[in-house]
Amino acid sequence: MKAQLRHAYQTGKLVLFAGAGVSANLGLPSWSQLTSRLANELGYDPEIFASYGNHLALAEFYRRKKGTLGPLRSWMDREWHKEGIDIGGSEIHRLIAQGNFSKIYTTNYDRWLELAHDYYGIPYTKVASVADLVTAQEGCREIVKFHGDFDDDASIVLDETSYYERLDFESPLDIKLRHDVLGNSVLFIGYSISDLNIRLLFYRLTKMWGNHARAPARPKSYLFTNRPNPVAEEVLGHWGIEMLVSEEDDRQTALTEFLAELVQR
């Protein structure tokens, strides 16, 4: 465990960024299952439909054909929150909820981070819109839903149009992010190194710091993974983000062990 990372964590100067891999250990549907749902609703063979584009393009096609993403969002909400999912059985969510993270950002739509905090009695404020920013309480942990929330259809970044609009990085949540990262380290967990969303975010964070007078004093940020990648390590290092690589082959086990060492030591 890096001494700088541990110090940032212990002093409350570590912002957590949680991706799809955090929710995956709960058995939630994958993007391939979502693509199959789109295909079935539109009358296409799922395997052939998946070859027509990435999930952003396919969701855009769905919205144009259906006129709305509403039915898809409703299906996702039901599938992502099925009865029988035991949040108390997720060690990853327990460690996150009980950890000393100053703020938690997530690109996930689901409510499991919030439900984990409820389960363990940890107070928090959910931030997914301008209205939430106004009502946020000082000193209370914030869970920032960076790509939207199932409680607000308009906030969800799912199709190409919403994604490209999100690329402007000038929304109130983006301004909040810039404020939050200027004085804190950031730890990314549950992300694929090849995920364009997160790589763009890395780039944007670097640009934020590059335009700031205190750039040389930028706190170090980290990406945890169990997949060594020397190319990504070099590129991310140039962007000020250090890769932390586990030797454990199973992703869920690797992330659990890493968080346990950080939170419980």
For every residue of 95-119, DSSP letters joined together read: HHHHS--SEEEE---SSHHHHHHHH
Q: Is 71 helix (H, G, I), strand (E, B) or coil?
A: helix
Structure confidence by residue, pLDDT tens digits, 152-199: 877 888 888 888 877 666 777 777 887 888 788 999 999 887 776 677
Encoded tokens for 64? 């144009």
Average per-residue pLDDT for the chain: 87
Tell me the residue type at 132: D
Band (pLDDT 50/70/90 cuts) for residue 29 is: confident
Sort residue 199 into left (φ over 0), alpha (ψ -120 to 50) or beta. Answer: alpha
For the chain, domains (ranges, CATH) are 3-26+89-264 (3.40.50.1220), 31-80 (no CATH)
- Whether the pLDDT of residue 215 is over 60: the answer is no
Question: If residue 244 lies in a helix (H) or strand (E), which one and from where to where?
Answer: strand 241-245
CA distance 8 to 137: 23
Mean pLDDT of 104-122: 95
Q: Which residues contact 88 (CB under 8 A, 6 or more apart)?
A: 94, 119
Q: What is the pTM of this model?
A: 0.89
- Whether the pLDDT of residue 218 is over 90: the answer is no
Q: What is the pLDDT of residue 255?
A: 96
- Whether the pLDDT of residue 119 is over 80: the answer is yes
Q: What is the pLDDT of residue 117?
A: 97
CA distance 82 to 67: 26
Beta bridge partners of 223: 188, 243
- Whether the pLDDT of residue 214 is over 60: the answer is no
Structure confidence by residue, pLDDT tens digits, 219-244: 888 999 998 889 888 888 877 789 99
Q: Of 210 and 28, which is predicted with more confidence? A: 28
